Amino acid sequence: MEVYKEVIHEWIKQNRTVGVQLLQKLVQEASVQGNEKLSQAIVIEKCRELMLNIDIWEAGGDELLNHPSFVSPRKSFADSPNVVAVLKGCGGGKSIILNGHIDVVPEGDINAWTYDPFSGKVLNGRLFGRGASDMKGGNVSLLLALEAIIKSGIRLKGDVIFQSVIEEESGGAGTLATIIRGYHADGAIIPEPSNMKIFPLQQGSMWFRILTKGKSAHGGTRYNGVSAIEKLYVVLEALKELEQKRNNRITNPLYHNIPIPIPINVGKVYGGSWPSSVPDEVTIEGRMGVAPDESIEEAQSEMENWLMNLKTIDPWFEQQPLELEWFGARWLPGSIEIKHELLKTLEASYQSIKNCKPVIEASPWGTDAGLLTNIGNIPSIVFGPGTTEVAHYPDEYIELNRMFEAAEIIALTVIEWCGIESIERGE
């Protein structure tokens, strides 16, 4: 590793300005859902500059739309291209996928931002803007790692498959499309904002909707009705107990620093029709975490059975059963063995650059690693330079030093994983 470590370090050091400018250009394009085309054009231009073999397509077709893991609200991906670029190896080495999503969540209330959310402003070693951490900074780390390898004259044995995908924030249709298109490798790295921690485990998650029914009456004689809001208290308490029960089963030490490994979060409540009426319906919508060692179906069944048993606590639910619906976005859980060779390779590269051992934990959120691992049968790890705490928040930013450190670590990992055919004089 020491043979090429200094060469990679020096190239990235000399090209920091190039990396910052690339990230600025990407952040300045507001690639929210349905608006990814211009950001992808920047990625395509960079991949052409590196003379990679590029595949550009708009996802779709029956095989994707009818796939059991397809959950996007979109049925057409016109003007939202997927991009895959391949650095072909000479043969005989292991292959790797470097997967990053180009879509970002909306900026929200612009008045909550100190700077324009798509400014790409650089201040005190940070670059600000929606997507800086989640995850365009990680994408730039991938591209810098690839460029450092190419420009340093290092020829690899195994293939490197760079993927810039759409739709991760809505459940992963872009990554699923790459799997259906036939892209496969011996391992994968996804640079989501992990705070430079390494996540070999990722929880899954899915959205749910629960309708609680009551009986309408005039507010002046509310004793003649049954308040759906009051019945909702019973439901919320049951969800809290279910969350505790499910989390008590989590014993993996990688969850040691995560207070609630697989939360059940209620994020939306709506119902009732008039202040002077007893509400006859209240609906909640939320997110249920899924453990890495369970399936989506197993988690769904546990909640369904748990809520069905409420009729033994309150007879009202025998008369008016709850209506539970699974809808919207969904992320599959994923995991690889703690002794997996890719994990060990990434650990060694991290330690070589940082001179300390990495923090290895379980991911507190879902990623496309679940699709790559479970549907694509590709062992996948999450490791990225972004800051978890500011992802999806106003004033999102990334520490630029981290982005360059991640690029070095990923470059060394790719070289070790894929193997070196030869080293020629670089630029």
Label residue 422 by pLDDT band (50, 70, 90). confident
Predicted local confidence at residue 423, as pLDDT: 84
Which string of DSSP letters, residue by residue, matches 108-156? --GGG-SS-TT---EETTEEESTTIIIIIHHHHHHHHHHHHHHHTTEEE
| Structural domain boundaries in the chain | 2-202+333-423, 205-330
Mean residue pLDDT across the chain: 96
* CB burial of residue 306 (10 Å; 0-12, 13-18, 19+): middle
* CB burial of residue 228 (10 Å; 0-12, 13-18, 19+): buried
What's the rounded mean pLDDT across residues 127-153? 98
pTM reported for the whole predicted model: 0.93
Predicted local confidence at residue 144, as pLDDT: 98
CA distance 224 to 221: 6
What's the rounded mean pLDDT across residues 79-91? 97
2-202+333-423: CATH topology = Aminopeptidase (3.40.630)
427 pLDDT more than 80: no
Catalytic one of 29, 103, 159, 405? 103
Q: For 377, which DSSP code?
A: -
Active site residue 314: no
Exposure class string for 58-97: b at 16+ Cβ within 10 A, else e: ebbeeebeebebbbbebeebeebbbbbbbbebeeebbbbb
Active site residue 243: no
What's the rounded mean pLDDT across residues 6-12? 96
Please provide the size of the chain in residues. 427
Predicted local confidence at residue 73, as pLDDT: 85
Label residue 352 by pLDDT band (50, 70, 90). very high
The reply to whether domains 2-202+333-423 and 205-330 share a CATH topology is no
CA distance 363 to 203: 6
Percent of the chain scoring above 70 in pLDDT: 99
Predicted local confidence at residue 162, as pLDDT: 98
Catalytic one of 36, 147, 167, 168? 168
CB atoms inside a 10 Å sphere around CB 45:
11
Q: For 157, which DSSP code?
A: S
Cβ atoms of 372 and 415 closer than 8 Å:
no
CA distance 154 to 421: 8
What is the identity of the amino acid at 244? Q
pLDDT of 214-243, one tens digit each? 999 999 999 999 999 999 999 999 999 999
The CATH classification of domain 205-330, taken from the options 3.30.365.10, 3.90.870.20, 3.30.70.360, 3.90.1150.10: 3.30.70.360
